[in-house]
A and B are shown apart, each in its own frame.
Chain A
Amino acid sequence: NAGVMQNPRHLVRRRGQEARLRCSPMKGHSHVYWYRQLPEEGLKFMVYLQKENIIDESGMPKERFSAEFPKEGPSILRIQQVVRGDSAAYFCASSPTTDQPQHFGDGTRLSIL
């Protein structure tokens, strides 16, 4: 039973480009969460999705960031026109229900040149 799969593991972009981060939840999990972590800082919640629906996006910047979880395929976190401050580790987690623990992927390390 594969765990949460994120790709790519590392992503390098130049300022102004777009970054697309992918997350396939564990089998049987319909709830997906995205978090951002800056070096030496804690996890910051960004967005929570449940198949085709955004349930809570209160932690996601209103501009340049978007997330989706289509009926088929992985969840995508998209960052448009990236800036240096977007450099961070982005973790995806999934759970079968909201009151069960979340399981994390290995993360995507995004570096902006």
Chain B
Amino acid sequence: RKEVEQDPGPFNVPEGATVAFNCTYSNSASQSFFWYRQDCRKEPKLLMSVYSSGNEDGRFTAQLNRASQYISLLIRDSKLSDSATYLCVVTGNTGGFKTIFGAGTRLFVKA
């Protein structure tokens, strides 16, 4: 089983749609969680950190479920500019520090 797993997609949605991505992780001792977005041939950019209490930033909502070991990202009112690959990132200090990037979920938002 991969340490961090994401559905690769692609998710094809119309503008204005709501779309949700999940990401599961295998290490129960993982400590910090993030969502990044990566545009084609560009560097990953931090979208938001994920906290146990959940957090919201405009149209984006991230949640963490430690019991089931997954994090989620919800995008409301999708825009064309949301088209990108969304990367789930998990960090922890068990057996040495580790940051694991998921392989990413591709999103295409169409007019």
CA distance A107 to B96 in the complex (A): 26
Q: A43-B87, A91-B44, A104-B44 are in contact. Are A98 and B97 (CB under 8 A)?
A: yes
**How many pairs, one residue from A and one from B, have CB atoms within 8 Å of each other in the complex?**
50
How many residues of chain A get a CB closer than 8 Å to chain B's CBs? 22
Q: How many residues of B contact A (CB 8 A)?
A: 23
Q: Kindly list chain B residues whose C-beta atoms are within 8 Å of the C-beta of A42.
A: 87, 101-104
Query: Assuming A103-B46, A104-B43, is B103 touching A41 (CB within 8 A)?
Result: yes
- Knowing A98-B93, A99-B91, say if A45 contacts B99 (CB, 8 Å): yes
Identify 11 new A-B residue pairs, CB closer than 8 A, beyond the known A41-B103, A103-B46.
A35-B101, A45-B98, A48-B97, A48-B99, A91-B44, A98-B91, A99-B91, A101-B32, A101-B46, A104-B44, A107-B42
